[in-house]
């Protein structure tokens, strides 16, 4: 990461947004082929992308809460028409929260360490990149299931265009 960007548009290559503790940037974006440093928080990027996708973050969050019943760590359909769905690993307003983009996940497994560690699970992405997570395998698996439910629910609601 050489250059720090002031703006970033979430796109179909975006795999994850990680918070950064750096004085010059707030987010590390992982795309399929590169990593980028961005001078905005992950939540700011998600909110901006929702607007670009045609609705506010709060509107998308309320709709998903209504349609799926999820009230915490609600998955967000950022650009449903482009299959861009993300879920938070923690409360979206917590600094430690990361955003994971559903369609890039290949697998998730519990982390089996020989010693006591904060790492509890590992997500493997379709490009082979791995993310060690502090969240348990169960919690991340639940978030993946909620996001899948969000995708299925929206697929039933969206009109079919020819």
**pLDDT (tens digit, 0 to 9) for every residue of the chain, 162 residues total?**
568 999 999 999 999 999 998 989 999 999 999 999 999 999 999 999 999 989 999 999 999 998 888 889 999 999 998 999 999 999 999 999 999 999 999 999 988 876 667 788 999 999 999 998 888 889 999 999 999 998 998 887 655 554
The two structure tokens encoding residue 115: 């010693």
**pLDDT for 162:** 44
* Three-class DSSP category at 126: coil
The two structure tokens encoding residue 113: 């360490």
**36 exposure class (CB count in 10 Å sphere: 0-12, 13-18, 19+):** middle
Which residues on adjacent β-strands are paired with residue 132? 122
**pLDDT for 122:** 92
The two structure tokens encoding residue 37: 């440093």
**pLDDT for 158:** 56
| d(C-alpha 142, C-alpha 162), whole Å | 34
| Contact criterion met (CB below 8 Å) for 118 and 134 | yes
pTM of the predicted model as reported, rounded to 2 decimal places: 0.90
**pLDDT for 70:** 85
């Amino acid at each position: 990461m050489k250059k720090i960007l002031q703006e970033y548009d979430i796109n179909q290559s975006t795999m994850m947004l990680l918070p950064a503790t750096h004085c010059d940037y707030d987010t590390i974006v992982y795309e399929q082929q590169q990593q980028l440093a961005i001078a905005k928080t992950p939540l700011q990027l998600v909110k901006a992308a929702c607007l670009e996708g045609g609705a506010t973050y709060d509107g998308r969050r309320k709709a998903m809460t209504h349609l799926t019943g999820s009230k915490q760590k609600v998955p967000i359909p950022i650009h449903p028409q482009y299959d861009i769905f993300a879920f938070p690993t923690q409360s979206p307003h917590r600094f430690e929260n990361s955003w994971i983009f559903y369609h890039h996940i290949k697998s998730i497994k519990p982390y089996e360490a020989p010693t006591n560690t904060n790492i509890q699970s590992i997500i493997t992405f379709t490009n082979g990149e791995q993310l060690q997570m502090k969240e348990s395998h169960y919690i991340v698996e639940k978030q993946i299931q909620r996001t899948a439910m969000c995708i299925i629910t929206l697929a039933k609601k969206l009109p079919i265009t020819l």
